[in-house]
Amino acid sequence: MELTAEQEWLSGAYLETYHSLMGDRRTRRTFDETVNGIIKAGTLVCQRIAASSAVLGAVKDGGQRVIRMATGESTRRSKLGATDLVERLQARGVAHLGAGGSAELWVIVDGSELRKPYAREMPALMSVRALDGKLVPGYRTLNVIGVSAERQGILYHRLFSSEETEFESESLEVQTALESVSHALQGLPAPRVVTWLMDSGFDDIAVWRTIWEHSAHLVCRVKHTERRLRYRTHDQGWEEGSIALACEHLERLASAQMQLEIRLPGQPRCKRQTVTAELSACPLELTYNAHVRRVEEYHEQHQALWLVQVRVLKSDWEPWLLITDWPVTDADSSVRILRMYRQRWSVEDSFKFTKQLLGWEEVQLLDLEGIRNLVALGWVAAGFLYELGVTLAWEEVQLLARLGGWAERPDRPPGKLTLTRGLRRLLDMLATQAALDRYRADHGSLPPRVEALLSHLPPPEL
């Protein structure tokens, strides 16, 4: 069965980016139907992907076609490995971000677990952290998303395991990601200011060094408060000591309100509410080896930094400590750093959302490269959703939930089925609008009865 005109419009322009990787028409058709099937089925289970496709669902071995493509059995004339797909995904993300008018780009890097708690036969399973803190079998992923004022794009993805024969280290995986994204961003039109936003897992001199080598900035949450550096004291002098000691010389600059999921004293449970954060900062100077973890000889470098403390008032949370190379000298600059770090949280929410919506953790293959390739196909599907702008802010996620029939209740968050149903309704609306626009372009107007029907739609409040 051929794709309908609406389906071709919906995915065709986006998927054409990848078609030059394919050596034959059958592979291209299987690829298109697999990506659409992932979006429609909300899973990486191959049989369910095929069942959600009009083409693959109509043949006897539709699920096997997806498996053979993922494992490379049917793609010998194509370049559909995870590396090829991610390179093309990265190029698409850079082009999409470059088409925006913003001069500032925030790059969020995030390590995420792909958990398989009940798997025993899947290859190269390593121990990863479950949501309850326990260790379960699974894999690690490293993902990078770029965010501008009006656009977002996927810039990197890699699934790996410490149990692989060729695995060297997670720090090398991080360096590979940093170099890959930094070189790709050189293709953006100038001027473009890039800031990397990172959680405490990237509190690492080697990570910071690589970012600075590419003339980018950073905001990173502190993990190693014992790190030695110089800090400015209250009397404007400089002393050498740890970040923990530098905290004693923070200067209060501002307060800011923000929304947090938090339980304040006297409240029975966590809820999303407005809280006030007190922002303080202190200048630092870091001396580091520019060739850390490299074979070159020691080369001393100096970097001006600022330590920013975010303390949530009326809560028992430990203050957040952030390191940045952006000057933080007044209220506006301190609030800007908080806003940057909060954006990293928003993207982390979107990672969780797309992982749930597309069912990445449901992958079931006994070939590691096949697992990598199928998860990469899931990221290709996610790239389409990110370009639609439906994953980076909770307001948009909640809109999808309402489209799926969710009634807002604090004790009942929307589930996967509700979000998937809402996404399908949104995509159906886009496809319908495209078909109507195409008909108007070809015929000048819609048939009178259809036009009359559309003119009598109920008002928005109904």
Q: Which domains does the chain have, with CATH numbers?
A: 82-355 (3.90.350.10)
The CA–CA distances, whole Å, from 348 to 72, 91, 353 equal 31, 22, 9
53 touches 36 (CB < 8 A):
yes
For residues 347 and 108, is the Cβ–Cβ distance under 8 A?
A: yes
Contact 206, 171 (CB under 8 A): yes
Residues ≥6 apart with Cβ < 8 Å to 144 = 107, 108, 109, 110, 154, 155, 156, 157, 177, 181
Report field, pTM of the whole predicted structure over 0.85: no
pLDDT at 83: 95
Alpha-carbon distances, residue 397 vs 154, 367, 393, 415 (angstroms):
18, 33, 7, 11
* Relative orientation angle of helices 416-443 and 5-19, to the nearest 10 degrees: 100
Residue type, 226: E
What is the Cα–Cα distance from 122 to 361, expressed in whole angstroms? Answer: 13
Give pLDDT, residue 1. 31
Give the per-residue pLDDT at 458. Answer: 55
Contacts with 461 (C-beta within 8 Å, 6 or more apart), sequence order: none
Bridge partners of 310, per DSSP, are: 279, 320
Q: Per-residue pLDDT for the chain (462 aa), expressed as one digit of tens each? A: 333 444 444 467 788 889 999 999 999 999 999 998 888 788 899 998 998 888 888 888 899 999 999 999 999 899 999 999 999 999 999 998 988 878 899 999 988 899 999 888 899 999 999 988 899 999 999 999 998 887 888 999 999 999 999 999 999 999 999 999 999 999 888 778 999 999 999 999 999 999 999 999 999 999 999 999 999 999 999 999 999 999 999 999 999 998 888 888 888 888 878 899 999 999 999 999 999 999 899 999 999 999 999 999 999 899 999 999 999 999 999 999 999 998 887 677 666 767 777 788 889 898 999 999 999 999 998 887 777 654 434 455 667 677 777 676 655 556 556 666 776 677 677 677 777 887 888 888 888 888 877 776 555 443
CA quadruple 373, 374, 379, 380: dihedral positive or negative?
Answer: positive
Residue 11, pLDDT score: 60
Secondary structure (H, E, C), 352-409: HHHHHHHCHHHCCCCCHHHHHHHHHHHHHHHHHHHHHCCCCCHHHHHHHHHHCCCCCC
**Measured on CA atoms in the order 272, 278, 279, 281, is the torsion positive or negative?**
negative
Cis peptide before 191 (omega within 30 of 0): yes
Distance CA 462, CA 457 (A): 10
